[in-house]
Amino acid sequence: MARPFSIRHQTGFTAIAVICFAALYAPIAILVIYAFNAGTSIADWEGFSLRWFVAAWNNSQVIEVSIRSLQIAAAAAVMATIVATMAALATTRTAPYPGLTLKYAFINQPLMVPEIVTAVALLIFFSRIKVATGYSGLGYLIAAHTAFCIPFAYLPIRARLESMDLTLERAAADLYATPWQTFRRITLPLLWPGILAGLMLTFVISLDDVVITNFVKSGGQDTLPTYMLGQLRRAITPEMNAISTVFLLISVGIVTLFFFISRKRN
């Protein structure tokens, strides 16, 4: 009897997989290792030390831009996830009709347009609003990140909705539940893993965005990525490695937390 086809059994699959993982994770491992370098070089190991973590912790600018980045990412992730959830419900809990595919394409358009094009468009759009209103606060960055992140939240939420069995929702409707009651008691609890996935993804996307932030921000509104980019243009020290390592740990913590929450709900 012929063995079922599996890509894992193809010649060279293991070697290619190892090379890909090495290319992906080796630079990250080097970054983390040199965050503990005692010297000022990012290429020569001079001993183990936590001096650069202490330096980053005592750097008021790093603390300021880190807090700002977390605030913008949290606000953008929440708003983008709410909008994406409503869009996913509107495009999946309805009978197919002409124009539905166009709506899919319209929602996912930011994924297909080069980010620099989106950044320039947002710069022009918000500059007119700044001139008209005189407001130049963080609202523009939050709005820009929200708009850019909506497709990233929409895709996992829509995928979750399309994989859900409609039996319970139909049963609730047969038992005279209102649409809101059906959503709150049945759809939302089943949809939570997709919502959490979208929230986590949009938070990370917003947190590390450079291009859109660089075009939209006003003076004194640096986020951590734009601050690090500016520092790398002046002098490269292991302090940047230390900051990156901390945010890498935060990202891993978010992914781990989501894994345990989704497993518990399953």
Q: pTM for the full model?
A: 0.82
Is 94 inside a domain boundary? Answer: yes
Confidence of residue 68 (pLDDT cuts 50, 70, 90): very high
- Tally Cβ neighbours within 10 Å of residue 252: 10
Averaged pLDDT, 196-216: 88
Contact 177, 185 (CB under 8 A): yes
Nearest to 62 by CA among 228, 217, 235, 187: 228
Please report, for the domain that includes residue 163, its CATH number. 1.10.3720.10
Is 27 inside a domain boundary? Answer: no
Specify the pLDDT at position 265: 54
Averaged pLDDT, 209-226: 87
Is 213 inside a domain boundary? Answer: yes
- Give the DSSP letter string of 107-175: HTHHHHS-HHHHHHHHHHHHHHHHHHH---STHHHHHHHHHHHHHHHHHHHHHHHHHS-SHHHHHHHHT
- Give the DSSP letter string of 11-45: TTHHHHHHHHHHHHHHHHHHHHHHTTBSSS-SSS-
Domain count, the chain: 1
Specify the pLDDT at position 45: 83
Domain coverage including residue 171: 59-265
Specify the pLDDT at position 264: 55
Strand partners, 260: none
Averaged pLDDT, 93-106: 78
Q: Average pLDDT over the chain, rounded to whole?
A: 84
Specify the pLDDT at position 73: 92
Burial class (CB in 10 A: 0-12, 13-18, 19+), 121: middle
Is 184 inside a domain boundary? Answer: yes
102-135: pLDDT as tens digits: 888 888 888 888 889 989 999 999 988 988 888 8
Is 15 inside a domain boundary? Answer: no
Specify the pLDDT at position 85: 92
Is 37 inside a domain boundary? Answer: no
Specify the pLDDT at position 263: 64
d(CA 216, CA 49): 38
Is 24 inside a domain boundary? Answer: no
Nearest to 64 by CA among 253, 234, 220: 220
Is 108 inside a domain boundary? Answer: yes
Confidence of residue 2 (pLDDT cuts 50, 70, 90): low
